[in-house]
């Protein structure tokens, strides 16, 4: 498996020239998070999802525990793949990765996304709302997973499966919790921020604070649901994302 194939899960092919929609999963998630999106998208789109180490076909690879080395490697893969207009979409951890890659693209002189769509994520300059969780003892870490409601109940009740998943989940938490924001100029691409009305992790003001990271246009949309409104309101989220495909704002 070559580098691009290992990182990129192609979910919907489109003709050359159709826009790319590149999706980044939340902590503990993989490309399967977006498996229903092809049937929901109406426009011709080249849809792909990022497949991170430590899960799915890359389950035997060690997961990244910090965002910077991940972004260095992934940015090289994406910059070679993208051959036209594109939109980034990331949820929670995925939003942070998409943001940091956009900054890396700017440093490399790679064109920025038409739109950076961030969902369920506080603006990157804001402090963590709670103490880090990635190094908690297993029982307390499991309690945190249950509280967040992002890990399927079936998995949480399957000790052997959780033993396999735990290193990846801890690494994803560490990736987010060890990120240290460094001030840079705002991005020149539009930013759209999505939030969940009942999200206990990310407030509406946390979502609105993303406006500080663009010199272009900013808008935000609040969906019914909690932190994982991406799953609860999937069709609505996809319809909203589709408005921005190669259209600007």
CA quadruple 233, 56, 93, 167: dihedral sign: positive
What are the phi and psi torsion angles at 58 (to 5°)?
-110, 25
Q: Phi-psi category of 17—alpha, beta or left, where left has phi over 0 and alpha has psi -120 to 50?
A: left
What are the phi and psi torsion angles at 164 (to 5°)?
-70, -35
**Residue 3 annotated to the active site:** no
Catalytic residue among 18, 92, 216, 219: 92
* % helix, strand, coil for the chain, step of 5: 40, 15, 40
Q: Give ∠ CA 169-149-153 in degrees, rounded to 5.
A: 85
CA dist 230 and 207 (Å) reads 15
**Where in the sequence numbering do the catalytic residues fall?**
92
């Amino acid at each position: 498996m070559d580098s691009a194939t290992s990182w990129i899960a192609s979910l919907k092919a489109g003709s050359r020239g159709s826009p790319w929609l590149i999706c980044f999963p939340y902590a503990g998630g993989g490309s399967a998070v977006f498996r229903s999106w092809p049937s929901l998208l109406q426009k011709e789109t080249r849809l792909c999802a990022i497949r991170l180490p430590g899960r799915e076909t890359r389950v035997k690879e060690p997961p990244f525990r910090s965002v910077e080395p991940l972004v260095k490697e992934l940015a090289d893969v994406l910059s070679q793949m993208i051959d036209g207009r594109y939109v980034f979409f990331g949820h929670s951890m995925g939003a942070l990765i998409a943001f940091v890659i956009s900054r890396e693209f700017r440093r490399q002189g790679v064109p920025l996304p038409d739109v950076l769509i961030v969902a369920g994520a506080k603006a990157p300059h804001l402090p963590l709302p709670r103490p880090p969780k990635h190094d908690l003892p297993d029982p307390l870490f499991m309690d945190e997973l249950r509280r967040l409601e992002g890990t399927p109940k079936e998995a949480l009740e399957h000790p052997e499966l959780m033993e396999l998943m735990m290193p990846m989940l801890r690494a994803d938490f560490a990736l987010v919790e060890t990120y240290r924001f460094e001030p840079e100029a705002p991005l020149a691409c539009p930013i759209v921020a999505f939030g969940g009305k009942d999200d206990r992790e990310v407030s509406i003001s946390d979502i609105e604070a993303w406006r500080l990271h663009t010199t272009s246009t900013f808008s935000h949309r609040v969906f019914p649901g909690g932190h994982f409104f991406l799953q609860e309101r999937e069709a609505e989220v996809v319809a909203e994302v589709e408005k921005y495909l190669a259209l600007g704002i």
